Amino acid sequence: MNGRVGDRLLVHGNIVGQPDRQGEILEVRGENGSPPYLVRFDDGHETLVYPGPDAVVESGEQISR
């Protein structure tokens, strides 16, 4: 998984009824776009994320179209 500042991180809920979470990647701390990412989720919470298999990075370029 590779991400860049401005990309969106989508984390799918892994429990029935748990909503998906979305946030903007503010900082990439791994090498060559790899995790961990500092993410600001849509609820305003900022945290360091090591995405698992339930996460997808959407390019900021795709979203702005």
Alpha helices in 1-65 (DSSP H): 60-63
Where are the domains positioned within the chain?
Answer: 8-59
| 21 close to 11: Cβ distance less than 8 angstroms | yes
Measured CA to CA, the distance from residue 4 to residue 6 in angstroms comes to 6
CB atoms within 10 A of CB 39: 24
pLDDT tens column, 2-55 = 999 999 999 998 888 889 999 999 999 999 999 999 999 999 999 999 999 999
pTM for this one?
Answer: 0.85
| 25 close to 33: Cβ distance less than 8 angstroms | no
